[in-house]
Structure formats: C-alpha cells, structure tokens
Amino acid sequence: MHSPISYLPSSSLRSTITYAANRNSFDDYLPIIPKDSRVQSKAVLFRLDFQITVMRGGAPVVGELIPFLVSGGPSKARMLNATDRHGTATLRLETRISGNNLIMPRNNEFAMSTCNVVIGEAWYEAPFLITAYNCCDEDDFSGPLVDTATVGKRKSDFLYGGTGICMQGTGVGSDGRFIRVTNPTQISWNPGYAGVADQTKVVFAYTDAVHGAYAVVTPNASIAIDPTILPPRHKVDIVGPRALGARSGDDTGGAIKGHHFDNYAGAGKSVMNDWQTAGGNITAAKVKYLGT
C-alpha cells in the first residue's frame, strides 16, 4: 500500500521539510488506532508516524524541534525527538478527522513545506475476541402451545423459557414472523433464569426484523460492539486468523466490553452449529477500521 501523504517542498526553497510515512506493525502505511484509545465524539483516534528530514541551505538541520499545526478539529502533530545528524526525526500525527489533514510547520522558515495526510482506513492495534450470537427459532423448542393475546398460539418455552424470546428479546416463529417482547425490564425470572416467574406480565408483539441497539441486524453482516471502541454504525473488516469480512456495528450488549465483537449469526441453533463448525470463537483477531 502506498504512503497516504502528499507533500510540497519547493526545490527553490533554502529551508525545507520532507515527509515519508513509516511502515506500521501491519507492514503497510495505514494509521493505527492505539489500543488504549477510546471513541470520542463518535470518532476513533488515528495515529500515524512519519520520518521527516529538515534541510537548510542544502545541509541537514541538527538538534532542532519544530512545532507543527494540523488543520481542522482535535488534531495534533509533534516531533518525538530532535533532528539527528542527518536532519531526520519522527513526527507523530494524532487525529480524529477522516479525510484530509494538512500538517503545517509553525516556523515561517518552513511554511511552504506542508504535508496533506488522507485518513480513511486504519488498523486497530489491539487484537479482538470475536464471538457469535443468534436469535431464537420456535422450531428449536418443544414445549406445549399456549395462547397469547397478541401473537397467537406459540410454544411455551419459545416464549418464556430461559433461552426464548423473553431472554433474547426477539425470536422467529414457526411461521417465519419475527416476535419481540415489548416490556423486557418488567420481567421477573425464576432462580437461575429458569423461565419467567409471572408469564401474565409479559407483552409480545410482531416486528419486521431483529432490531439491534443502533439498526436492524443482518446475519453475518452485523456485530454487537462496545461503542467506546467502535462508533455505532461504523464498519470494520475482520481479517483473520479466520477472515469474516466486513461488519457493521449495529448492536451492543452488556457482555460486550473492550476489544470484543459479537457476530450476529442469524436465527436458530443451526447457525450456532455452523459457527462452531467453522472454528468457533476467534481470539486475537486482526481488525481493520473501514469508517462509515
């Protein structure tokens, strides 16, 4: 992958700074999202290091720290060390701005030696745990049929059991219709979540799809996320060690904390069997941020 920068030092200038993006630990030139960074204002933090070379009158500038500005938003660029005997040093850009980031030396002497960095994709520095979840399917249950006021006769354990709609929020009936519980916070459970304690308090309704916290979830295209790690509705590419491809952050969950994504696999036990057959949970997954 080519370096994501363009720079302008004029050959006619006596004092110039040139910029070259450093390769990252993923062996390309994309920015890194630091493992200890968190989302702010629905934006991730991008970090990109450059080697800069500072010249004056054709000779390297030694032992100098030059201040820099970055156009737009909460962005900064700073030298990590003074220039060495070759006039080189490391310049670090940190920004939450996708698209163009123009780096400009504050010193008038180098004012024309600007560098435009185009930010798009980036690697998460931290590895991820990738798990999977599903919604329940009435065909997987065997309890007796019970009448409801809103969704007809349904299997009792599909509605009220510890792995049924009351626990999962949404399920698929034997007729293919999605059913959701409308008052989950009012449900009381038997010890060990062995079924709903008072079934008369539960209200069900038909719905058009499985709705995540941020959008409708699509099998093997949506993930549940920690919104401090990935902004809602933003996309990632789960690269490996088992590649899953592009996913959208359409849901969240109480158990999804830190660098952990939960892949929505679809409805029923069969999709979870497929997940296990494919290799099951992925530890230390390599993840690329794709943006919105």
* Cα torsion angle, 174, 177, 182, 184, sign: positive
Q: What are the pLDDT digits (tens) for 152-194?
A: 999 999 999 999 999 999 999 999 999 999 999 999 999 999 9
Q: Residue 260 above 90 pLDDT?
A: yes
| Closest-CA residue to 53 (of 36, 66, 37, 39) | 66
Give the integer Cα–Cα distance in Å for 244 and 132: 12
* Residue 172 bridge partners (DSSP): 137, 178
Tens of pLDDT, residues 17-47: 999 999 999 999 999 999 999 999 999 999 9
The architecture CATH gives domain 5-124: Sandwich (2.60)
Please name the residue that has the structure tokens 């520095």.
125
Q: Output 287 or 8, whichever has higher pLDDT.
A: 287
Q: What percentage of residues in the chain have a pLDDT greater than 90? A: 93
Which residues have a Cβ under 8 Å from the Cβ of 55 and sit 6 or more positions away? 15, 16, 17, 18, 61, 87
11: pLDDT strictly greater than 70: no
What's this model's pTM, rounded to 2 decimal places? Answer: 0.90
Q: In whole angstroms, what is the distance from residue 68 CA to residue 162 CA? A: 58
Sorted by where each begins, the domain ranges of the chain are 5-124, 128-132+212-291, 134-207
Q: What is the pLDDT of residue 72?
A: 74
How many C-beta atoms surround the C-beta of residue 186 within 10 A?
11
Q: How high is the pLDDT of residue 1? A: 46
State the chain's mean pLDDT as an integer: 94
The overall longest dimension of the chain from CA atoms, in Å, is 88
Residue 10 has pLDDT above 60, yes or no: no
8 Å CB contact between 223 and 251: yes
- Output the pLDDT for position 4: 59
Choose the CATH number for 128-132+212-291 among 3.20.20.140, 3.30.70.3000, 2.60.120.1600, 2.40.40.10: 2.40.40.10
